[in-house]
Structure 1
Amino acid sequence: MHYHKDAKLFNNKFWVGYFFSQSSSVEAEGRRHYFRYRLRPKLLRDVSKRDVRTSILGQEIAFPIAVSPTAMQRMAHPEGEVATARAATSLGTGVILSSWSTSSIEEVAAGCSPNGPRWFQLYVYKDRDVVRDLVRRAEKEGYTALFVTVDTPILGRRLADVRNKFALPSHLRLANFSTKQQHSSGVKSMQDSGLAAYVASLIDPSLNWEHIEWLKSITSMPIVLKGILTAEDAKLAVQHNVDGIMVSNHGARQLDGVLATIDALPEVVEAVRGSNVEVYLDGGVRSGTDVFKAIALGARAVFIGRPSLWGLAYDGEAGVRKVLELIRDEFSLSMALSGCTSIADITPDLIQKDRFLVMAKM
């Protein structure tokens, strides 16, 4: 089933423009980065039994694939983030809830399976009381980590949103905020999207390491920095005693020409070697083989964003579950055909980068 093609049949320019936009890149270019990594299988191993379990920050998940934070999911399906959370946690894996969700922190927590892994993505607002409130509510509802987005001091120029003059549809709202807090989410501009106006008015562009220290002072939850792409920043993250790094380029929707996450991953992994900082990958994953490659290059787990949205748009909770099952099963197959029976068996010597691979137009 080609979920990404069927999902586009939901012919709403805001939905398609927002969820499918990239800064000014195309999907095929991102895929080429994954194709450049070739597999070196180890054969004549007994792979009749395979264990795909791993853990994130001490919490076990059934397989190393979880769901990235994506905003405003009720544009894709009426049940939005609740359906996504139900699907992920029913399979024994986790989900990160976006600050900009159209279902609230409380609604999503209630929809998760008992003890289902759930984490909260946080933007740092100029109004620190807003941040404190979000953190407090996430803690109360059993979210077990903060994924702090660090690559969006201002919003990248998303041309599809600009053309469409994107604003959240009037029947939806950013469910984690009061009407007063989110008042500018519906701002329309002749030059930018309503979302850009929202970010400019409310998100703190001065975000720096002092803010990370402040966040650590107001919560006992582990802190993961989402958006780190370089060894230099990864080393600073270790120095500031964060708990994890999500190697992410925000779906290639922020900085045009930015590194592909699969290419940035090895240097980040090397930079934190010897520390307790866990490294995850987000961005460009479309198959279980992609997951296998990321694990081999040092990621502890991989997060998917757009694929889960395609499943959500196609068939709600069942669609998200099917997408996760497909990628999970492909990953298990890649393990078997590469001679691996556990996550620990997936090592860098199973990967070779072909620097000169040129892909035909996809």
Structure 2
Amino acid sequence: MMPLTPLTIDEFEAIARERMERSAYDYYAGGSGEERTLAANREAFNRIPLRPRVLIDVSQIDTRTTVLGQPLALPVMLAPTAFNRLAHADGEMAAARAARAAGTIMIGSTLSTCALEDVAGACEGPLWFQLYVYKDRGFTQELVARAEAAGYRALVLTVDTPLLGRRYRDVRNNFVLPEGITMKNFEAAMKSMTSAARWGAHSSFSAYVHDLFDATLSWTALEWLRTQTRLPIVVKGIMTEEDAHLAVSAGADGVIVSNHGGRQLDGALASIDALPEVVDAVAGRADVLMDGGIRRGTDVLKALAFGARAVCIGRPYLWALAANGEQGVSDALRILRDELSLAMALSGRPTISSIDSSLVQRRPPVG
């Protein structure tokens, strides 16, 4: 029998798989193509051995850190994920409340099923806002202005989605949002959108992305966004040293090493394998975060050892949200915090600042 409170993130997924509609579960769980990058994100962590130190005072473990100067009680943030109400009726608002209670930050998604203002009102804590640049720059400007007015503390520009990856699970399931669940940040604008842009029962999500997302984007888009806001800008989707240099040169305050959870280019390297070269390229000029494959506290520890300031989790909190709403997300964050604290103690690193590259044995990615 499954324990009432899961002990691991994997146990949350097992509960979510049982409770969710098949098409909704597959939307969260699936990757693109043959899902090789999706699998690689997990496998890569398992290939990295830790080099623990001993005879160090670890009687007091401190998981506190900062990102963009903003304090975190633990170096685990909630990544931007679409359509949280597929998991639970309270959706993004429940996740944001759990993040606040844990002393961390949720990155709200443009494709949220709760309006960004409602999420901010429910959270009453620090939030960042994830942004796509649309063909209609006026609509993009409106989203930025709304995020600023609602008190969001940073913008996260996603740059790896000029087109949507081929996600066969969604194609086979003919995935659409269920009746009563909508993209709340778009309600006012939807009245003038095309049928594809509105994305209902007669239009695929891929058609929506093709219709609205700007596939002509270049680095000038980041420079343009810099003129539209005084908020810090974090660029999400950086996987190479070349793009890390360009992002910082164009004004990024931070970057997120991410392959979109294995949902875009299948065959791309695992995020943790891309992390070291991005950290080296940024060279302290911006904060580096990463997502993709985080399931355990030791995964967080390895990412920090490779130079990440913090990590972001997506699927883990969605499984927890499906399992038990806000309390589930709180429990998932507690599990990761407790696992990280124990791993820090057993590796002889009592503080986040004591975690460095000597803790991990760097190995080349497996092709």
TM-score by length of 1: 0.94
Residue of 227, 243, 246 corresponding to 1:236: 246
Q: Residue 265 of structure 2 aligns with which residue?
A: 255
Task: Tell me the amino acid that sits aligned with residue 279 of structure 1.
Answer: V
Residue of 79, 85, 110 corresponding to 1:99: 110
CA shift for structure 1 position 270? 0.1
Q: Residue 245 of structure 1 aligns with which residue?
A: 255
Task: Tell me the amino acid that sits aligned with residue 186 of structure 1.
Answer: W
Is this contact kept in 1: 2:79–2:313, CA < 8 A? yes
Q: Residue 16 of structure 2 aligns with which residue?
A: 7
Partners in 2 of 1:216 and 1:65 — Cα distance? 26
Residue of 306, 310, 334 corresponding to 1:297: 306
Partners in 1 of 2:361 and 2:254 — Cα distance? 26
Is this contact kept in 1: 2:226–2:251, CA < 8 A? no
Q: Residue 130 of structure 1 aligns with which residue?
A: 139
Partners in 2 of 1:253 and 1:63 — Cα distance? 27
1:186 aligns with 2:196: no
CA shift for structure 1 position 180? 2.1
Higher helix share: 2
Residue of 210, 214, 219 corresponding to 1:209: 219
Partners in 1 of 2:306 and 2:31 — Cα distance? 25
Is this contact kept in 2: 1:52–1:62, CA < 8 A? yes
Partners in 2 of 1:77 and 1:11 — Cα distance? 9
CA shift for structure 1 position 172? 1.0
Q: Residue 180 of structure 2 aligns with which residue?
A: 171
The residue matched to 1:37 in structure 2 has which SS?
coil
Partners in 2 of 1:215 and 1:354 — Cα distance? 37
The residue matched to 1:292 in structure 2 has which SS?
helix
Q: Residue 38 of structure 1 aligns with which residue?
A: 49
The residue matched to 1:246 in structure 2 has which SS?
strand
Partners in 1 of 2:31 and 2:54 — Cα distance? 39
RMSD of Structure 2 on Structure 1 (CA): 1.7
CA shift for structure 1 position 11? 4.0
Give the gaps of 5 or more residues in structure 2.
1-5
Is this contact kept in 2: 1:165–1:188, CA < 8 A? no
Q: Residue 155 of structure 2 aligns with which residue?
A: 146
Is this contact kept in 2: 1:36–1:353, CA < 8 A? no
CA shift for structure 1 position 237? 1.1
Q: Residue 284 of structure 1 aligns with which residue?
A: 293
Return closer, same or farther for 1:111/1:181 CA change in 2, 3 Å cut-off: farther
CA shift for structure 1 position 17? 1.8
Partners in 2 of 1:329 and 1:57 — Cα distance? 24
Partners in 2 of 1:78 and 1:356 — Cα distance? 40
Kindly provide the CA deviation profile for residues 279-327 of structure 1, in whole angstroms up to 9, marking residues without a partner as x.
Answer: 0011110010000000000000000000000000000000000001000
Task: Tell me the amino acid that sits aligned with residue 183 of structure 2.
Answer: L
CA shift for structure 1 position 199? 0.3
CA shift for structure 1 position 13? 2.4
1:73 aligns with 2:74: no
TM-score by length of 2: 0.93
Is this contact kept in 1: 2:49–2:361, CA < 8 A? yes
Q: Residue 327 of structure 2 aligns with which residue?
A: 318
Return closer, same or farther for 1:355/1:128 CA change in 2, 3 Å cut-off: closer
Kindly provide the CA deviation profile for residues 65-86 of structure 1, in whole angstroms up to 9, marking residues without a partner as x.
Answer: 0100000000110000000000
Partners in 1 of 2:338 and 2:115 — Cα distance? 31
The residue matched to 2:42 in structure 1 has which SS?
helix
Task: Tell me the amino acid that sits aligned with residue 173 of structure 1.
Answer: T
1:51 aligns with 2:51: no
Kindly provide the CA deviation profile for residues 35-72 of structure 1, in whole angstroms up to 9, marking residues without a partner as x.
Answer: 11110001000000121111111110111001000000
Task: Tell me the amino acid that sits aligned with residue 224 of structure 1.
Answer: V
Partners in 2 of 1:28 and 1:70 — Cα distance? 19
Task: Tell me the amino acid that sits aligned with residue 18 of structure 1.
Answer: Y
Aligned pairs, how many?
Answer: 352
Partners in 1 of 2:198 and 2:76 — Cα distance? 31
